[in-house]
Amino acid sequence: MAFRQIGVAASVTVALALATPAYAVTEIQWWHAMTGGNNDIVNKLADDFNASQSDYKVVPTFKGSYPDTMNAGIAAFRAGTAPHIIQVFEVGTATMMSATGAIKPVYQLMKDVNEPFDPKAYLPAITGYYSTSKGDMLSFPFNSSSMVMWINKDELKKAGVAEIPKTWPEVFDAAKKLKAAGHTTCGFSNAWASWAHIEQFSAWHNAPIGSKANGLDGFDTVLEFNSPLHVKHLQNLMDLQKDKTYDYAGRGAASENRFASGECAIFLTSSGYYATAKSTAKFDFTSAPMPYYPDVAGAPQNSIIGGASLWVMGGKKPEEYKGVAKFFTFLSDTNRQADLHQKSGYLPITKAAYEKTVKDGFYDKNPVLQTPLKELTNKEPTENSRGLRFGNMVQMRDLWAEELEGALAGKKTAQEALDAAVARGNAMLRTFEKTAK
């Protein structure tokens, strides 16, 4: 009796399940790593897209930190249950693009489903990072940022620093003044140690991080950031670390609140820190371009981007790809991009959205948000400043930071630390090259 009822219920369920796809919308799974206010933005984008049409439904799922999300995607691919769209941070680019077959390049996707797509509409400083050397866009930029120098204007004034420092020597001077004025534990500092002192530092000074245009032109790239310029910079930091005129603040973004708390009045971190700074800093603050060494010819060059892009996974159905393409077109809409930029602090990805924001006079009121764009477009990008693409970059960043820590703790000389970072990094690149053939 009971069994029969269950049997009937089961067959009804099965029938319903089988019948559903006939009139259901196509679901597009989107895995992302956005927290807090940015998570709301992701959900709002999906809701708006779903409301704008009835054929497709984008379903965003939060998967943890950037490395967590990327690993979840890789594991899902191996298990045959990959999502359609996955948000991968910029350092995962080489790993993703080398996975031929696992991913569907964006330019290919747009062509396959006949979606109108003009790669020239996007800001080259941003899309260049996610494109092949021929200019084919591989992934769709979502949230982009760059590194800027955050300034506590109140404290600088108190310490008698009249102008916002532009060069590294000026920053060191200002930090000494700040220290004398009571900032005993931190004259200046930065988050993202490797990103600041190796990646951005190199691009900003038009010095190579590695050969083959920082790896953009091939996986047989060799690291080169143990040059005299890099050694000099690290040596300066080491000298200043001794009395905390400079104070190391870790590999990630965890110490960003040393700026908002007022402890460090000069602090280099992502331009994406804007939303947090706005809500937590109780003083007059602004952002300025990263400092440079004036004796380096051509400096400052241009900065490179950080943040994340959306990768489309391979092996999905054509109608699902159609939905993904529609969603990307939706994201590229000028008003939407401008709005996204002005609310989140992340960079606009299309030229039109940037121009609209300028025309609206937004930057007159919020010059802070224009700093990263000015840095990115400061000069025409060179081989050394177009971007970077190293395999195993996620772990390599930690490895570089490890060596920087060794030097700053006084265990190694600047030259030894950078030589070791280059040698160990090269060993990882060779392992990657073998698997990425």
Partner 1 sequence: MEKSVVFNNKLLPYLLLVPQLIITLVFFYWPASQAVWQSFKREDAFGLTSEFVGFENYQSLFAQPEYYASMLTTLIFSSLVAALSLSIALLFATQADKNLKAAGAYKTMMIWPYAVAPAVAGVLWLFIFHPSLGTLARPLRWMNFDWNPLLNGNHAMILVVMAAVWKQISYNFLFFLAGLQSIPKSVLEAGAIDGAGPMRRFWTIVFPLLSPTTFFLLVVNIVYVFFDTFGIIDAVTGGGPAGATTTMVYKVYADGRLGGDLGGSAAQSVVLMVIVIALTAIQFKYVERKVQY
Tell me how far, at minimum, the Cβ of 163 lies from partner 1, in Å: 27
Question: At 160, is the secondary structure helix, strand, or coil?
Answer: coil
Provide the residue type at 133 as one letter.
S
Tell me how far, at minimum, the Cβ of 385 lies from partner 1, in Å: 26
Element of type H or E holding 285: strand 285-288
CB closer to partner 1 out of 346 and 400: 400
CB closer to partner 1 out of 36 and 135: 36
Tell me how far, at minimum, the Cβ of 301 lies from partner 1, in Å: 30
Tell me how far, at minimum, the Cβ of 202 lies from partner 1, in Å: 21
Tell me how far, at minimum, the Cβ of 188 lies from partner 1, in Å: 14
CB closer to partner 1 out of 350 and 392: 392
Beta partners for residue 268, in sequence order: 149, 190
Strand-pair category, 103-104 with 140-145: unpaired
Number of alpha carbons in the 13 Å side-chain half-sphere of residue 412: 16
Question: At 365, is the secondary structure helix, strand, or coil?
Answer: helix
Return the structure tokens found at 319: 């109608």
CB closer to partner 1 out of 155 and 375: 155
CB closer to partner 1 out of 42 and 408: 408
Q: How far, in Å, are 1, 117, 208, 292 from residue 171 at the CA level?
A: 83, 44, 23, 9
CB closer to partner 1 out of 199 and 403: 403
Q: How far, in Å, are 56, 109, 258, 319, 331 from residue 326 at the CA level?
A: 9, 11, 42, 11, 9
Tell me how far, at minimum, the Cβ of 338 lies from partner 1, in Å: 36
Tell me how far, at minimum, the Cβ of 405 lies from partner 1, in Å: 4
Q: How far, in Å, are 2, 12, 13, 21, 414 from residue 9 at the CA level?
A: 11, 5, 6, 20, 72
Tell me how far, at minimum, the Cβ of 395 lies from partner 1, in Å: 4
Tell the burial category of 227 from Cβ atoms under 10 Å away from its Cβ (0-12, 13-18, 19+): middle
CB closer to partner 1 out of 46 and 94: 94
Which residues bind to partner 1, rule: CB under 8 A?
67, 71, 74, 77-78, 95, 98-102, 185-186, 241, 248-252, 255, 257-258, 261, 263, 392, 394-395, 398, 401-403, 405-406, 408-409, 411, 424, 427-428, 431, 434-437
CB closer to partner 1 out of 29 and 357: 29
Provide the residue type at 335 as one letter.
N
Q: How far, in Å, are 106, 211, 383 from residue 302 at the CA level?
A: 26, 18, 11
**196 neighbors 268 (Cβ within 8 angstroms):** yes
Distance between CA atoms of residues 183 and 175, nearest Å: 9
CB closer to partner 1 out of 32 and 258: 258
The position carrying tokens 């369920």 is 13
Tell me how far, at minimum, the Cβ of 119 lies from partner 1, in Å: 26
